[in-house]
Structure 1
Amino acid sequence: MKQKYDVMGMTCSACSAHVDKAVRQIDGVKDVNVNLLSNSMVVDYDESKVNDQMIFQSVENAGYKAALETQTVQAKKQEETVDHKKKSLILSFIFLIPLFYISMGHMMGAPLPAFLTGEENMMVFALAELFLTLPVMYINRYYFQRGFKSLWHRSPNMDTLIAMGSSAAALYSIYAVFMMGYDLGHGNMHQAHQYVMQLYFESAAMILTLISLGKYLESRSKKKTTEAIEKLIHLMPSVATVLKGGIEKEVPIEEVQVGDIVVVKSGQSIPLDGVIVQGHTSIDESMITGESLPVDKTVNDRVIGATMNVEGYIQVQVTHTSQEATLSQIIELVEEASSSKAPIAKLADRISGIFVPIVITISFITFILWMTLGNQTFHFALTCAIAVLVISCPCALGLATPTAIMVGTGKGAQLGILIKSAENLELLSKADSIVLDKTGTITKGKPQVTQIYPIGMNEKELLTLAASIEQASQHPLAKAIVEYGKANHIELQTLDHFEMLSGKGLKGTVNGKIILSGNQRLMKEHDIDLSPVEKEAALLASQGKTPLYYAYDGQIVGLIVVSDVLKETSQSAIEQLKAMGLSIYMLTGDNRLTAQAIGDELGIQVIAEVLPQDKEKHIRDLQASRQRVIMVGDGINDAPALMRADVGIAMTSGTDIAMDSADIVLMKNDLQDVVNAIELSHAVLKNIKENLFWAFFYNVIGIPIAAGLFYPFFGWLLDPMFGAAAMSLSSVFVVSNALRLRFFKPKHQNQMIEQENQIMKQEEHKMEKTMNIEGMMCPNCQKHVDKALNSIDGVKATVDLQNNCAYLQLDKDIDDSILIQAVEDAGYSVKGIQ
């Protein structure tokens, strides 16, 4: 089973590496994912061998604490909150500022009180620094507590480096104070003055304060990375209005059961997933599906919890509890993805596990070498050793991957793209082939009337006959024709007789005459002459289309083609996938002619007449040729293929998102979101690489400078205070870089914005004119003038009969004489144009 835990005390990637190693060593643990960003851990283990107490003990042995996720509230209280860090930081600065002024002010010519100056006040000067430093060390005592505890457990971390660096500076300064007191007591003023110049109290306090500043800024930035999840959590209504016995009662959302009827009024959020049983409305689903426009809903339509009822009163029968609701599933998926690790993070994890011991070793070697070989003072050697410790914090290294993944998966959820793991995100960016299911993925999956060929009558008459007989059938093709007829305001005629002929079609009687609807076989059985439609039928067959034949009173009256049409965005999405360099295949069970016609239209490769159970084999064949394959399907009959693919993407209705077979779930049945998901994966992986580069680059450059490697050649030396500031800012930089993903926008959205801006500019440049017209007497006159003006290219005219004028909107510069001539040719005269 998988269980999520909160882990307290982790501050850097070395911490997470130690926790990971400790838990992974337990017999029966299959996998461990430790997330430094969220201070959490997901453990996959064998319940027969492992229990929670064993995991708690293992984490504690590593120097940290763990608690079940269900104890999150209690666990969070034990952690330093952002507010607590802010208070500690303010208190630290209250003592640091006077300390810094006393220790460094005289170097900048700043005046000091008389009791702190002169050789006779050296001891007062030193004790003033000591007593200003001790409060700063106490305020930030958790660095020493956790740092030395980790060192005791042989798992040194960032806190260890800080504690050792600050302690070394403070202890040596205390030693100097004692030696100064000794020399003063023995009258050795010169030696005492040497020691007063070697006090490092301000360095010890400054290191702690600057590290705390960095951690505070980092905490604020990290908090922003979880905004997407927090926004999702806040979407869930806390109460619902339940209807029982005709009485409305407001109850907590947790108490609502499956089958309850909830009332949702205009402007309210729908509390839980369900089905409308009364009323109709428009619902804003943008917060769940990313769909910007409200969706019309009526009785028997499904609705999603946490979406907004824009207008209308509805009653909804609940189908899922709050724990099972779509929003809960989305939050769970996003959190699970955020806690997972991408393959690219493994290098950082391996380095983090050994990084701190190596840094401590380098610090000792630096001190020893400068003392023995460098012919330098103790002061110089100690400065270099402390600088190595404080600049080498592996925070940035540990935050590089999880921050980008957290923000990226959260952004995906906002766009209606649910990513189940970081590994899938990385694989998605590396894929070179994509396989698309046809029905419901490329096409709408719902038959529609696409062509009508009447013989001996007009389209409306043919459609009237067709819809009249098809209304008695429940076949999807029949429903498509009836819906098309209603949409074109056809009045259905009453059937005197109706008969369903299996495998052939339908037979009925309208106005005492027989009407036939079906295939060629049905027509031949009733001796219908098909010669008038033979050419059209043959052409349609060559295009992979299947027409329905219609005969009335013994004569063929036409053909109607009903087919599954492409989605509006499919053509554009496939063009974008091609531009990404992906090889595109369409995998379908349809006959080869029909499939090839769609393939030719889209310009993609076709694998047709494939049984559902055989789709997985075709994915395997592509992988055998060393292709990384993305499979896009509906998540039901495509399940084996989705699981076999390197990345499986399932399209969903927006409610059933818990698809175990898919790695990524799209909340909208829109192929454009596949493009958006791939673009997002590229953006996240690029961000991770940037973060890792700067984290490694920072340490590769910073450690040699801190160790004084360049001092003999260029005189470069790093003060420990500046090292602490640089280390802190490196973490802030990495988190801030990851936060840029919050502003990610798919390219097609940017293109749409540009198109809208162009349209707006064109609108701004449109010219408006008013034309005064004489001679218009009635609505017919108005129609004539309207037709005359609107027939001119670039002119949009509205004719006002009452005021004898026309309001013109011109898309381009058109000479007035052309406008006047058009009106005069229609039989009227123009008095003037303004």
Structure 2
Amino acid sequence: MAGSAKALRYRVEGMDCPSCAGKVETAVKRLPGVLGVQVSTLTQVLTLTANDDLPPEGIERALHAIGHPPHRLPAKDAPAGTRDHDDDGATAGRWWESTKGRLTISSGAAFVLAWLLAEGVPGYERWLYTAAVAVGLLPIARRAFAAARAGSPFSIEMLMTIAAVGAVIIGAAEEAAAVVFLFLVGELLEGVAAGRARASIQSLTALVPKTALVEHNGSTEEMPADRVPVGATILIRPGDRIAADGEIINGEGAINEAPVTGESTPVRKGPGASVFAGTINTDAVLRVRVTAAAADNTIARVVRLVEEAQESKARTERLIDRFSRYYTPAVVVVAALVAVFPPLVLGQSWGEWIYKGLAILLIGCPCALVISTPAAIAAALSAGARRGLLLKGGAVLESIGRITAAAFDKTGTLTEGRPQVTDVLTFGRSDTEVLSLAAALEQGSSHPLALAILEQAKAAGAPVPPAFDARALPGKGVIGSIGGEQIFLGSPQAAAEQGSLTAVQTDQVTSLNDAGKSVAVLVVNGMAAGVIAMRDEPRADARVGLDALRALGVTPVMLTGDNPRTAAAIAASLGIEARAGLLPEDKQRIVRELQEQGLVVAKVGDGINDAPALAAANVGIAMGGGTDVALETADAAVLHGRVRDVAHMVGLSRGTMANIRQNITIALGLKAVFLATTVLGITGLWPAILADTGATVLVTANAMRLLTWRP
């Protein structure tokens, strides 16, 4: 009876494309005792579960045999720093130091040497070029037969081996040597391009400094950033990169978040504000309380999310995978028919048509087609992540571009999520004096409206005198004594009960309420001295973001649990339809109603209150500053909470799908052209492999353009 299961992780050399990943997965799945397999071409990581009685050596031998040497990695729950270091270190290296690089150089050198010797020693050309073929082909052939034994008989290596050996047999050894060399060059370029995609996302980890200044018993000591515990206080000097996710407990300064979120303008932050590891403190000394371990900081989660996203394939990618499973065997059948049918039935030359059949084998290599979609998706996911747009896989990336409606939550999504002072009306006193007296009463309160008043007083430079005998009047407001005067700050209803408001002032308060604003009346010695209006205001880019969605053909709508008056006022300022007073189940119902109307719906919210609607939508998008909920609840997340980034996600998706269509056209178009020219006798073996290699290079280069994507 098999023992209990164990988990194993390997970095697999040369696993740069879906074909390679498919061979690795097939080979490992066939081993007795293997229970489950996952592969990621972005990270070159193989993860499997197996019975305890399966020796790791058996897995490693199977991978070595198919030409993909494995390197054991620590388990996913390894201590912070260990796992990332091993992964990164393992993938480093120059192309000429890799196995593919050395083989390509050797094959090229053998080809050049054979050509030079053939020029100097006529009559031995065939043997010289055959030797050059052997240098590059023997490792390919070993991999081909190992893959066939492991369950992948129609691998690209097998097609290459048949074509090269056949060419040598019919006397085209020189072309066979060129074909082998060009094939290896194509494989090498594919690996280099895949490495670029990996490096693009992994380079984010380099943003986090290696050390941190930790405060301890009144002094600071430098220690490795990956060992700083949660709850520790770190000191961030001007110009330093922040070493951990945390919360500012002392100091105020501008934080450059561009490296993590793509936000070009530094964000001013003070006590209580969250900061991300890898961002830059520009102009003040900050003390930050660490809120996440190194393995769980924003950058680590972003990298992990993008890596895991590779395992979720887009619908287009799945279709191409299925197509390629039948395509390659079909190509072998067509090549065989081309080689034997004309000579047998029509009496044509065997040598000519076998040559054409071998060329068709090479033209039929599916590499360019198979890599057309995952290369573009990997590049797009990496580019989006570097700009704070996090998408959980190719399926999500593909779906977002098809949305026709976007249902937004209001609080914290279209708005800032906290009230701000919008109006200060004064009756016989200055704005500064009204703010000063109100702030004096609210000092020490944590109520959102109180915090808004205190923030506005600070921004206006209003002094905050001490208040005496200050106390709350439940349901009414706050009362106290300041400078010998009796001060009350509270609701308009409470002020009206005291007879403090005139008819004109009452009309002004009503007008503010109609605009969806909360109103506090300041009363001094029984007389109304001023009115302070507050509202959770729309984000600065909300109107621009909604207009950008409309320009893309996406209809935005607001779904909120807030009262209809406030919702209507915010919606009017943004030019959006509002549905208010909704419970979570109401939001879910409305999303389904929109879908029944034929719309493809994205739900944009905070990932907690909107969970039912996020689940019901075609795509759920969480708005948030890198919180666990924002990164883990929905299908996608906008890291820095900009409304216009939803439109950017749609644009990235549509740009990626256009790139994929271009790639498929290039891959199939070149094959169709060279298939026709080969049958007509215009092109031969080396143009055939050049077509395949060229298509792979063109498709990969086109996909890599997405790494430079800008909103």
| Aligned pair partner of 1:688 in 660, 678, 681 | 660
Alpha-carbon spacing, 1:649–1:27, altered in 2? closer, same or farther (3 Å) = farther
CA contact (8 A) 1:22 1:58 kept: no
CA contact (8 A) 1:273 1:319 kept: yes
Question: Which digits, 9 at most, give the CA deviation of each residue in 1:245-268, with x for residues without a partner?
Answer: 556544434433333444444433
Alpha-carbon spacing, 1:93–1:462, altered in 2? closer, same or farther (3 Å) = closer
**Post-superposition offset of 1:241:** 3.9
The structure whose Rg is larger is 1
| 2:686 corresponding residue in structure 1 | 721
Q: Distance in 2 between matches of 1:650 and 1:395?
A: 36
| 1:827 corresponding residue in structure 2 | none
Q: How does 1:337-376 map to 2 (within 5 A)?
A: 337-376=309-348
| 1:129 corresponding residue in structure 2 | 126
Amino acid of the structure 1 residue aligned with 2:156 = M
Alpha-carbon spacing, 1:129–1:38, altered in 2? closer, same or farther (3 Å) = farther
Secondary structure, in 3 states, of the residue corresponding to 2:205? helix
| 1:449 corresponding residue in structure 2 | 421
Q: Distance in 2 between matches of 1:389 and 1:160?
A: 10
CA contact (8 A) 2:624 2:630 kept: no
| 1:274 corresponding residue in structure 2 | 246
Q: How does 1:787-798 map to 2 (within 5 A)?
A: none
| Aligned pair partner of 1:85 in 96, 100, 114 | 100
Secondary structure, in 3 states, of the residue corresponding to 2:376? helix
Q: Percent identity among equivalent residues?
A: 30
Amino acid of the structure 1 residue aligned with 2:153 = S
Secondary structure, in 3 states, of the residue corresponding to 2:282? strand
Alpha-carbon spacing, 1:642–1:257, altered in 2? closer, same or farther (3 Å) = same
2:508 aligned with 1:536: yes
Secondary structure, in 3 states, of the residue corresponding to 2:315? coil
CA contact (8 A) 2:242 2:276 kept: yes
RMSD, aligned CA: 3.5
Amino acid of the structure 1 residue aligned with 2:694 = L
Q: Distance in 2 between matches of 1:260 and 1:459?
A: 42
Which segment is superposed worse, 564-573 or 28-37?
28-37
| 1:702 corresponding residue in structure 2 | 674
CA contact (8 A) 2:247 2:273 kept: yes
| Aligned pair partner of 1:235 in 191, 207, 216 | 207
Q: Distance in 1 between matches of 2:398 and 2:236?
A: 41
2:197 aligned with 1:225: yes
2:657 aligned with 1:660: no
Amino acid of the structure 2 residue aligned with 1:387 = A
| 1:741 corresponding residue in structure 2 | 706
CA contact (8 A) 2:248 2:272 kept: yes
| 1:171 corresponding residue in structure 2 | 169
Q: Distance in 2 between matches of 1:246 and 1:529?
A: 54
CA contact (8 A) 1:401 1:688 kept: yes
| Aligned pair partner of 2:156 in 155, 158, 164 | 158
| 1:547 corresponding residue in structure 2 | 519
Q: Distance in 1 between matches of 2:158 and 2:168?
A: 15
2:257 aligned with 1:285: yes
Amino acid of the structure 2 residue aligned with 1:726 = A
Question: Which digits, 9 at most, give the CA deviation of each residue in 1:561-588, with x for residues without a partner?
Answer: 1111111111111111111111211111
**Post-superposition offset of 1:458:** 4.4
Amino acid of the structure 1 residue aligned with 2:108 = F
- Segments of structure 2 that go 5 or more residues without pairing to the other structure are 1-5, 75-85
Secondary structure, in 3 states, of the residue corresponding to 2:331? helix
**Post-superposition offset of 1:606:** 1.0
2:576 aligned with 1:604: yes
Question: Which digits, 9 at most, give the CA deviation of each residue in 1:8-38, with x for residues without a partner?
Answer: 5657655544555677899999997655565
CA contact (8 A) 1:452 1:560 kept: yes
| 2:470 corresponding residue in structure 1 | 498
| Aligned pair partner of 1:634 in 606, 611, 620 | 606
Question: Which digits, 9 at most, give the CA deviation of each residue in 1:755-787, with x for residues without a partner?
Answer: xxxxxxxxxxxxxxxxxxxxxxxxxxxxxxxxx
**Post-superposition offset of 1:313:** 3.8
Secondary structure, in 3 states, of the residue corresponding to 1:430? coil
Amino acid of the structure 1 residue aligned with 2:702 = N
CA contact (8 A) 1:95 1:133 kept: no
Question: Which digits, 9 at most, give the CA deviation of each residue in 1:721-766, with x for residues without a partner?
Answer: 11111111110000000111122221xxxxxxxxxxxxxxxxxxxx
Amino acid of the structure 2 residue aligned with 1:663 = D
Q: How does 1:517-528 map to 2 (within 5 A)?
A: 517-528=489-500
2:374 aligned with 1:396: no
CA contact (8 A) 2:95 2:101 kept: no
| Aligned pair partner of 2:301 in 288, 304, 329 | 329
Q: How does 1:503-522 map to 2 (within 5 A)?
A: 503-522=475-494
**Post-superposition offset of 1:165:** 0.4
| 1:377 corresponding residue in structure 2 | 349
Question: Which digits, 9 at most, give the CA deviation of each residue in 1:474-507, with x for residues without a partner?
Answer: 4322232232223222233443443321112223
CA contact (8 A) 2:606 2:624 kept: yes
**Post-superposition offset of 1:362:** 1.4
Q: TM-score, normalised by structure 2?
A: 0.88
Secondary structure, in 3 states, of the residue corresponding to 1:445? coil
Alpha-carbon spacing, 1:381–1:277, altered in 2? closer, same or farther (3 Å) = same
Alpha-carbon spacing, 1:359–1:508, altered in 2? closer, same or farther (3 Å) = same
Q: TM-score, normalised by structure 1?
A: 0.75
**Post-superposition offset of 1:692:** 1.9
Secondary structure, in 3 states, of the residue corresponding to 1:323? helix
- Segments of structure 1 that go 5 or more residues without pairing to the other structure are 104-111, 117-124, 173-198, 747-834
Alpha-carbon spacing, 1:368–1:614, altered in 2? closer, same or farther (3 Å) = same
CA contact (8 A) 2:197 2:704 kept: yes
CA contact (8 A) 2:42 2:307 kept: no
| Aligned pair partner of 1:142 in 120, 139, 144 | 139
| 1:589 corresponding residue in structure 2 | 561
Amino acid of the structure 2 residue aligned with 1:96 = F
Amino acid of the structure 2 residue aligned with 1:606 = A
| 2:643 corresponding residue in structure 1 | 671
2:211 aligned with 1:214: no
Aligned residues: 693
Amino acid of the structure 2 residue aligned with 1:149 = A
CA contact (8 A) 1:29 1:50 kept: no
Amino acid of the structure 2 residue aligned with 1:634 = D
**Post-superposition offset of 1:375:** 3.1
Q: Distance in 1 between matches of 2:670 and 2:404?
A: 34
| 2:378 corresponding residue in structure 1 | 406
Q: Distance in 2 between matches of 1:324 and 1:473?
A: 33
CA contact (8 A) 1:455 1:532 kept: no
**Post-superposition offset of 1:446:** 1.6
Secondary structure, in 3 states, of the residue corresponding to 1:566? coil
Question: Which digits, 9 at most, give the CA deviation of each residue in 1:255-288, with x for residues without a partner?
Answer: 3333344444443332222334555544322111
**Post-superposition offset of 1:402:** 1.3
Q: Distance in 2 between matches of 1:79 and 1:39?
A: 16
| 1:255 corresponding residue in structure 2 | 227
CA contact (8 A) 2:27 2:63 kept: no
Q: Distance in 1 between matches of 2:315 and 2:268?
A: 43
| 2:77 corresponding residue in structure 1 | none
Amino acid of the structure 1 residue aligned with 2:147 = S
Q: Distance in 2 between matches of 1:534 and 1:3?
A: 72
CA contact (8 A) 1:657 1:665 kept: no
**Post-superposition offset of 1:396:** 0.6
CA contact (8 A) 1:33 1:341 kept: no
Alpha-carbon spacing, 1:293–1:639, altered in 2? closer, same or farther (3 Å) = same
